[in-house]
Amino acid sequence: QVQLVESGGGSVQAGGSLRLSCQAFGYTYCTYDMSWYRQAPGKERELVSVIQGDGDTTYADSVKGRFAISRDNAKNTVYLQMNSLKPEDTAMYYCKTVRCHSWGQGTQVTVSS
């Protein structure tokens, strides 16, 4: 069993920053690889970033250079630092395990122009 608890969403102006957090509880195998997704109204859910247990990271082209994924294993937490936010970043953001297909409830990010 895996439970993910997300926080850090909010409303910011374009150019601002937010840091999302996802605290995970459960089987270590399930949380070895972690990811962030986002979904805007009327659009498909898209993969934003992935971080593996060894620290390797991957980013969608749309966020490269602006977002950074990291983790603190002692706190069982994954972060998504979002800088230079754009209105098109507005979406519900979800964290997800890769191996066990568990999702958090999501946290809303709204970026105004």
Sequence-distant (≥ 6) Cβ neighbours of residue 93 within 8 angstroms: 6, 9, 20, 36, 37, 38, 48, 80, 106, 107, 108, 109
| pLDDT, averaged across the chain | 95
Instruction: Read off the pLDDT band of 62 (50, 70, 90).
Output: very high
Please write the tens of the pLDDT for every residue from 14-43: 999 999 999 999 777 888 999 999 999 999
Quick one: average pLDDT of 55-69?
97
Quick one: average pLDDT of 52-81?
95
* Both structure tokens of 71: 């983790």
* Burial class of residue 110 in the structure, from the number of CB atoms within 10 Å of its CB (0-12 exposed, 13-18 middle, 19+ buried): middle
